């Protein structure tokens, strides 16, 4: 079982997210690992992230954080390759960077950021850790290990507990893991480098370059109240007066840039705030009070959060009224269209939901959250075949997304297509890093009766590719080759 693929930060109860840094050990990290090996390490990383942390698969929130992340990546001259931005549904105030360009942002950080520039500042910092290969530098002296062994050792170092059912394997790497943990702790050089490059990216992307220093200073002041429960960001990104001063000096090179927060930022915060309450009644009370007392930054977003809370509480008519207020001047926003359709579905107006979402997709065919919502409405209307078409189109644009393959599996099952059911289940398993069970699912799919020739050929080609990957991985593991 492959362990956490060099996990940098994990917000677990006792071993909270930690951002590990290591200075350059004197050789190029670029030669440590092939692109393919780093991708496999990234897959192992995401598999363990999903097993250990509540990754939020909400399409609208994911689309927002991806959009913000990609804006920053486009402004970073060193950024190459694939980046994957995702949200973790925990109140931890932190973010982390992992192998393969995987960058996680905790819901608590989004809620703690007072401006979109502050959120962008932390994300730009993490992007810099990726572009400067800080993780690979930390793993440089482990280059003779295979990917699974390296991943298991780093997992043991970070989690401090068993990460697989193989207790013996975990015990064997225990001593090495402890040594690695000491080596990959925070280093001032990497943190300052990530600050410096992150502020440059922030400014080039049009955000306020002073936001990073401002966020650091505000959290530092608040930590005096937190005492032993300081925000995780301060534990994993140690901040002192010199670091704040250096960040301010770097921002001075660009000057202040006032950038209004986007409405999508405010809507994302409202949605996460609503989710933060365990009981819908608590969420309803929160938004009712903030609206009545005027304690909010954006009235549109606050009404949206109120509508979400009322929907979860089953007060659909009240939710429609709150949503109508939010939609008065922004009726075409996907967040509002999706919630309006959700209310239709809750109140049995399935065809209306399908019709409105179909029109929205026609107007914005590239907006994948709308297409996912449309597919879900089609499923409610007992029309799984067109739902499969929609989800397949999205999956082509977003390959390797387990959530999409899970929905495709459900739609194929509803359609009575056993071959496709097993194929989509296989794709979901493969995307999660479970190659062997994914291979078995494809083999089952090929045994289904009445499997169309073109479908069988597609499955067979996929099966051969995965089997060759598995054989190659086992050969390297047996020879003890470096990644």
Please check whether residue 238 is in contact with residue 195, taking contact to mean a CB–CB distance below 8 angstroms: no
Name the nearest CA neighbour of 342 among 321, 322, 312: 312
DSSP 254-274: T-----PPPHHHHHHHHHHHH
* Structure token pair of residue 334: 């996907």
Please name the residues in contact with 382: beta carbons below 8 A apart, sequence gap of 6 or more. Answer: 414
To the question of whether residue 454 is assigned a binding role by annotation, the answer is no
Which one-letter DSSP state was computed for residue 92?
-
Helices (H) and strands (E) counted in the chain, each on its own, are 24, 4
Name the nearest CA neighbour of 305 among 111, 124, 155: 111
> For the chain, how are helix, strand and coil distributed in percent, rounded to 5?
65, 5, 30
Residue 391 CA: distances (Å) to CA of 406, 432, 447: 10, 18, 24
To the question of whether residue 296 is assigned a binding role by annotation, the answer is no
Rounded CA separation 415/421 (Å): 9
Helices (H), 205-315: 211-226, 232-236, 241-252, 263-275, 280-293, 299-312
- Which residues does the annotation mark as catalytic? 126, 195
Binding-site residues for Zn(2+), in ranges, read 125, 129, 191
Binding-site residues, in ranges, read 125, 129, 191
């Amino acid at each position: 079982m492959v362990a956490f693929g060099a996990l940098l930060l994990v917000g677990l109860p006792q071993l909270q997210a930690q951002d590990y840094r290591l200075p350059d050990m004197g050789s190029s990290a670029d030669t440590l690992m092939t692109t393919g090996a780093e991708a496999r390490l990234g897959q192992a990383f995401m598999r363990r992230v999903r097993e250990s942390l509540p990754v939020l698969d909400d399409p609208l929130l994911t689309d927002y954080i991806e959009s913000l992340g990609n804006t920053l990546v486009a402004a970073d001259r060193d950024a190459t390759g694939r980046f994957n931005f995702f949200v973790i549904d925990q109140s931890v105030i932190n973010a982390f960077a992992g192998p393969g360009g995987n960058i996680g942002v905790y819901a608590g950080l989004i809620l703690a950021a007072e401006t979109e520039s502050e959120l962008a500042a932390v994300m730009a910092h993490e992007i810099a850790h990726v572009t400067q290969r800080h993780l690979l530098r930390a793993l440089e002296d482990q280059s003779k290990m295979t990917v699974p062994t390296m991943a298991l050792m780093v997992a043991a170092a970070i989690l401090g507990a068993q990460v697989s059912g193989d207790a013996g394997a975990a015990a064997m790497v225990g001593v090495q893991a402890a040594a690695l943990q000491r080596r990959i702790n925070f280093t001032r050089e990497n943190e300052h480098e990530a600050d410096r490059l992150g502020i440059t990216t922030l400014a080039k992307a049009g955000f306020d370059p002073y936001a990073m220093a401002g966020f650091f200073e505000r959290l530092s002041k608040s930590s005096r109240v937190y005492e032993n429960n300081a925000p995780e960001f301060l534990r994993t990104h140690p901040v002192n007066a010199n670091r704040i001063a250096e960040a301010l000096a770097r921002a001075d090179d660009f000057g202040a840039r006032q950038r209004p927060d986007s409405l999508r930022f405010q809507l994302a915060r409202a949605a996460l705030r609503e989710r933060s309450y365990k009981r819908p009644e608590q969420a309803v009370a929160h938004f009712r009070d903030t609206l009545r007392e005027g304690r909010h930054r954006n009235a549109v977003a606050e009404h949206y959060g109120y509508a979400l809370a009322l929907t979860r509480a089953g007060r659909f008519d009240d939710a429609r009224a709150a949503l109508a207020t939010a939609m008065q001047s922004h009726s075409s926003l996907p967040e509002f269209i999706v919630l309006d359709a959700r209310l239709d579905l809750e109140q049995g107006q399935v065809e209306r939901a399908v019709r409105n979402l179909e029109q929205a997709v026609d107007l914005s065919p590239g907006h994948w959250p709308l297409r996912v919502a449309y597919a879900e409405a089609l499923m409610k209307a007992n029309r799984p075949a067109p739902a499969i078409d929609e989800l397949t189109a999205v999956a082509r644009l977003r390959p390797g997304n387990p959530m999409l393959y899970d929905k495709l599996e459900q739609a194929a099952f509803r359609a009575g297509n056993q071959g496709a059911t097993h194929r989509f289940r296989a794709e979901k398993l493969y995307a999660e890093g479970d190659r062997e069970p994914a291979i078995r699912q494809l083999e089952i799919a090929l045994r289904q009766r009445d499997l169309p020739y073109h479908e069988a050929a597609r499955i067979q080609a996929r099966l051969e590719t995965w089997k060759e990957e598995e054989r190659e991985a086992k050969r390297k593991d047996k020879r003890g080759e470096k990644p």
